[in-house]
Structure 1
Amino acid sequence: MQQKAILPVLDVRELQAGGERKQKFLDELAEAARTVGFFYVSGHELCRLQQQVLQLSKRFFDLPLNDKLAVEMVKSPHFRGYTRFQGELTQGKPDRREQFDIMGEQARVHFDNSDPQWWQLVGPNQWPQALPELQPVLTAYQDALTELTVSLLRAFSEALQQPRDSFADNLSQPYTHTKLIRYPGSDDASDRQGVGAHKDPGYLTIVTQDEHSGLEVLKDHEGWVAVPPLDGAVVVNIGELLELASDGYLRATYHRVVTPPAGIDRYSCAFFVAPQLDSVVPLLELPAHLKDQALGPSADPDNPLFYQVGENVLKGRLRSHPDVAQAHYFGKAS
């Protein structure tokens, strides 16, 4: 059963309508991003692909273990492929999930020891031979999510009274990352970490949920609140690099996923976008009245943010997947 939405629901058809309807959308978008950093988006064509993606996700995780291990992430220096249950860490603690990750499909880059190590992130995906239908559908979904992200970033530029293409220079080849996730249920009350509390590192995150709730966001004065699934909508949240670019006006917020009860498997698809790896985060010059409302980018001494995008992305990958770091990055997982 679906629960009532506790976040703003923004229909992108209002953005496309122009005029007063567009301006109302921009105002609501800016307010949601400034105050909580999370909102629902409806009215986009990608919403028609949601159920197909989730069904294929279930079929992938139902494959025999050996078929999934054939594309295990530890085989990929680009951090792509299958991760076993509790194979990814958040805040140094294993998450109770298994997952399958892809990024943009690219040829591997040849580089030498004088080049930045983050160039090793560029490369091909691993695809399961036992489920050939997955590649075209998941690739199409990633493309649709990328298109929505670009539209939202243009909207943010306009809402912050910036040139419409403020982010265009570092989005010609954005770093896209799509993750299919299965959260198996458990009755162990001592460990409910589906995903530990964290902020996302890129520009924007878009989450597709099945019918089961589990995503929670930390709201001011309210504590942890559930972000339930909503038919025909996805959940969007601000990443740290967008907060950095807007001097804290756009807000990256802590969120987590709670393990479902025993007997229930929860499935979701998370999509992350960062600027292209060889770029630097732009710093927007906000008008005075907007700058006065900005909280300033938050600082975490245990997770410093880098303006150089590749450094930022690699840092997060190494911390989350120490096995891949050990296998391909000489153990530099700190």
Structure 2
Amino acid sequence: MPLLSLANMDKAAFAAALGTSFRRFGFAMICDHGIDQALIDRGWALARSFFALPDEVKSRHDALGNGGQRGYTAFGREIAKGARENDLKEFWHIGRDLPAGDSLGRTMPPNVWPEELPDFRPVFTRLFGQFDQVGAELLSAVALCLGLEADWFDDPIRNGNSILRLLHYPPVSPQAPGIRAGAHEDINLITLLLGAEEGGLELKDRSGNWLPVTPPPGALVINVGDMLQRLTNHVLPSTSHRVVNPPPQRRGYSRYSMPFFLHLRPDFVIDALPQCVSAANPRRDPPISAHDYLTERLVEIGLVAKE
């Protein structure tokens, strides 16, 4: 998989290369993304500090009451769609801060913050904003590779229900089974991931083989989510991926990662783009709002109770 430079490639060339990588792998690797490295380093340190807190302290911020969308989700609660065993991870979710009284507040819960770490809110609020900006740049390239105007995604993602996830995979025993996070596809439009250089991330190629994803330090791994797959009528495919355990001698170490799940506005209706529908590729899915689709998927992965 080639490493693409967001800063040092012509916009049209970058869009074409991104589209090629997405069509082939459902993934891309991006360098020169512009997210402040000092801010990233501070974020890693705070994530480690939070996950090192006692379980009874972390559980004060439990996200069960909001479908796992804001705050803390305990170890082992989430399960990949169709999997038989829960994932070996715990995580924290940060969402978008909406203006007071915004109508989208009915479907986007407010953030919660751990008062035990005073720097947590300002650091991750800034990081969320920088991920959001880079994500919008990448979607502009996606629009161009689909033959749309460069600003096509601006309104669909305005006040989108995006989430910054801080992930911790605790150490496991040398005898532990091989999977930390079961094979799955992401729900959202695109995912921007920091931390994949820690090892373990694998994607499933078109032939059914599992390939390791090994970006250089500081690079972003980008992947297509199911919402973009649905919007493009599967022209840009969402690819199964998983996190496997390292070799036995490395299983005593934690793994951390920081994915940003870029989402549409909850009230945006996901319907196949006309240019992605043809006799050879007929429409596959009916229209659905981004909120309803997200809710369906959160039920499937165990974060929202089925009604």
- Length-normalised TM-score, structure 2: 0.88
In the alignment, which residue of structure 2 is the partner of 1:35?
24
Matches within 5 A, 1:74-93: 74-76=64-66, 79-91=69-81, 92=83, 93=85
Is contact 1:161–1:287 with CA below 8 Å preserved after alignment? no
Matches within 5 A, 1:255-334: 255-260=241-246, 261-286=250-275, 307-322=288-303, 325-326=304-305, 331-332=306-307
Percent identity over the alignment is 26
**Aligned AA (2:213):** V
Tell me the distance in 2 between the aligned counterparts of 1:106 and 1:274: 14
**Aligned AA (1:203):** L
Structure 1 unmatched ranges of 5 or more: 1-6, 16-20, 112-117
In the alignment, which residue of structure 1 is the partner of 2:201?
215
Is contact 2:231–2:272 with CA below 8 Å preserved after alignment? yes
Q: CA deviation at 1:26?
A: 1.8
In the alignment, which residue of structure 2 is the partner of 1:66?
56
Q: CA deviation at 1:106?
A: 3.3
Q: CA deviation at 1:47?
A: 5.2
**Aligned AA (2:134):** L
1:234 matches 2:220 = yes
Is contact 1:107–1:123 with CA below 8 Å preserved after alignment? no
SS at match of 2:298: helix
Is contact 2:192–2:223 with CA below 8 Å preserved after alignment? yes
In the alignment, which residue of structure 2 is the partner of 1:115?
none
In the alignment, which residue of structure 1 is the partner of 2:139?
153
Change in 2 beyond 3 A, CA 1:40/1:210 = closer
Is contact 2:232–2:276 with CA below 8 Å preserved after alignment? no
Q: CA deviation at 1:319?
A: 2.8
Is contact 2:270–2:290 with CA below 8 Å preserved after alignment? yes
1:172 matches 2:129 = no
Summarize deviations over 1:199-247 as a string: whole Å, max 9, x none.
1111100111065201110012361111124222110000111112222
In the alignment, which residue of structure 1 is the partner of 2:96?
104
Tell me the distance in 2 between the aligned counterparts of 1:78 and 1:109: 22
Q: CA deviation at 1:23?
A: 2.5
Quote the RMSD (CA, aligned, Å). 2.7
Q: CA deviation at 1:146?
A: 0.9
SS at match of 2:229: helix
Count of residue correspondences: 301
Tell me the distance in 2 between the aligned counterparts of 1:150 and 1:214: 27
- Length-normalised TM-score, structure 1: 0.81
Structure 2 unmatched ranges of 5 or more: none
Summarize deviations over 1:238-292 as a string: whole Å, max 9, x none.
011111222222121000111344211000011101210011125323389xx79
Tell me the distance in 2 between the aligned counterparts of 1:215 and 1:78: 23
**Aligned AA (1:314):** T
Change in 2 beyond 3 A, CA 1:242/1:287 = closer
Is contact 1:88–1:320 with CA below 8 Å preserved after alignment? yes
Is contact 1:182–1:266 with CA below 8 Å preserved after alignment? yes
Q: CA deviation at 1:198?
A: 0.8
**Aligned AA (1:102):** I
Matches within 5 A, 1:46-57: 46=35, 48=37, 49-57=39-47
Tell me the distance in 1 between the aligned counterparts of 2:58 and 2:199: 26
SS at match of 1:170: coil
Q: CA deviation at 1:133?
A: 0.8
Change in 2 beyond 3 A, CA 1:25/1:134 = same
Tell me the distance in 1 between the aligned counterparts of 2:96 and 2:161: 7
